[in-house]
A and B are shown apart, each in its own frame.
Chain A
Amino acid sequence: MNDSAVVSAPPAVCAEDIRVIYRGRTVVDVQSVALASGETYALLGASGAGKSTLLRVLGLLERPSRGRVLFDGSPVAARDLVARRRIAAVFQKPYLLRGTVAHNVAYGLRLRGMKSAERAVRVSAVLDRVGLSGWQSRSALTLSGGEAQRVALARALVLEPSFLLLDEPLSYMDPLLKRSLSVEFAAILAGAHVTSLYVTHDQDEAAVMADRIGVMRDGRLVAEGDPDTVLGLPADEWVAAFVGMEPALRGRIVASDDGLSRVECDGSTVYSTVELPVGTRVMLAVRPEDVTLYEADAVLPTGSARNRLDVVVLEVRPQGGSVLVTLQRGGVRFAAAVSRAAASELALAPGRHAVAVFKATAVRMRSEN
């Protein structure tokens, strides 16, 4: 074994000490963000959080006021056309050019001086991939929103970029189309093995698309990690509110036995299947949709749900098709998402007692440091 050969590869794309200032106002202030080769990284945040600006900086479309961008460990700049041509992007609006679908998809290839026969082969192959086989000669301006966005994705993928930028590509779609396209896009990206940056304000979309998520707020990266951790174990109150949860609970592991950790949490006992050494101080959380509520005096069904806590309802908030119920037991606060029917059946209202039931496998947990 040759030790000197063991050198970890630099990240495919990396930004260091990035600051973007518009008219004296700092809109992006990010110490470091790095994308490993082939991974899809989602930047999640509310509008105006600086996500798209950071995307433009990483995509060499905008010069930051400070900081630098590196591709495979080497610094690159916005005027570097060779570096820029390793990137392709899909934005909110597809902005198709007048002409046929093929004319649009081949645009980047024409810029690179590719011969027309070769272009036709590449265009045909990429249209197959995005589910638009044989659409070459259709007029681009007669397409529906979903079709146009697929053409935009094809136009980017046909370039075989080493870095793909996706700036809220599904935000103008209706919810149904958005769901199906996000699943499709995720599969296409996974198949393309391309390093991708996906900007969105939709946590469900981020969860479907991304290998890793970074949450941005006021220009800063406030949380980063795999989707399960970021969305399931919110690091602070703001992130929790953003992803529709209560902030993570804090506790200490008091026993660990047979794959089950017992955690003392402000006077309550919670079980988790995450194994950590006894004595570890931990953060833990449970997604609202993993919690089931019963009436306080109900006979609970026997089952695998290990956690059964007597709770008091603090707040009941309708949310789309379901109701988000904030619950408290001593210093412990978490939320449950129940159907509207269940909420009215249980007559949920602030002050009412209930029993919250959730599985030990539903409890996300990690060491506090």
Chain B
Amino acid sequence: MHVYVQAIVDAFALLFSGSGEVWPVIGLSLAVSGTATLIATAIGLPIGYFLGMSRFAGRGSLILLVNTAMGWPPVVVGLFVYMALSRTGPLGDLALLFTPQAMVIAQVILAAPLVAGVSTAAIASVPRDLRLQLRALGASRAQEAVEVLKESRRGVMAAVIAGFGGIISEVGAVSIVGGNIQGSTRVMTTAIVFNVNRGEFGLAMAWGMVLLGIALVANGALTMLQQAGTRYER
């Protein structure tokens, strides 16, 4: 038990000591995963809207594909992005390997299916008749989309949070394409692995606690959204 207590004490000391080591790593984690979530939303939400709204042959297969992509193993995604960005890979000329940008790319690939999949369900739950009503009052396609997104905003926000929650805590992809370079690509999850390997449990615990805190906030928001209010009473 002592080892946990000591680690937690060390963690608090590090977090509030003003040490220059901890906060930049937390900042980079939030920056990489935040940017990736924004880009994944820009990609995943239109896909979710399209899959949620349209009825066409093959829609079921596409949804299956998106749902499968929601469970992509991060290390495999890391491997593919690594190969693409490596010097001999198709995107090798961009020289992005072991940069935060490479980490963003890998996390976008992980988060976009999450955003698309969760928002598909939310958008599909908007009644078809409501859309018909909007169109029948003269809404253009874009105006209809805005109103549908407004009506399904809780589900759409849940999709974005699910995307963020899925990538802030993953380690496989970022460690492969980022390389855990101190001061450059070290994020909380890769730092935890690194510090545990070196027996620095206090440092690892500090990041672990911050990660848990972020997960708690994200899940709290998600739960609130899911419980808030009822929809379409009539």
Contact = CB atoms under 8 A, between A and B. Distances in A.
B223 interface: no
B139 A111 contact: yes
A299 to B, nearest CB: 57
B137 A108 contact: yes
Contacts of A91: 129, 132-133, 136
B137 A159 contact: yes
A interface, by DSSP: helix, strand, loop or mixed?
mixed
Nearest to A59: B136
A81 interface: yes
B93 interface: no
Contacts of A115: none
Given A91-B132, A91-B133, A93-B129, A141 B233 contact: yes
A93 B234 contact: yes
Interface in B115-165: 127, 129-130, 132-133, 135-140, 143, 147, 151
Nearest to B233: A141
A249 interface: no
Contacts of B133: 89, 91, 95
Contact of A95 (B127, B138, B139, B143): B127
Interface residues of B, number: 16
Contacts of B137: 88-89, 107-108, 111, 155-156, 159
Contact of B129 (A87, A95, A156): A95
A56 B143 contact: no
B132 A61 contact: yes
Given A89-B133, A94-B234, A145-B234, A84 B138 contact: yes
Interface string A41-66: 00000000000000010010100000
B136 A165 contact: yes
Interface in A201-221: none
Contact of A108 (B130, B138, B233): B138
B234 A88 contact: no
Contacts of A177: none
17 contacts: A61-B136, A81-B138, A87-B136, A88-B136, A89-B133, A91-B132, A91-B136, A92-B129, A93-B234, A95-B127, A95-B133, A96-B234, A108-B137, A111-B138, A148-B234, A159-B137, A165-B136
Interface of B: 127, 129-130, 132-133, 135-140, 143, 147, 151, 233-234
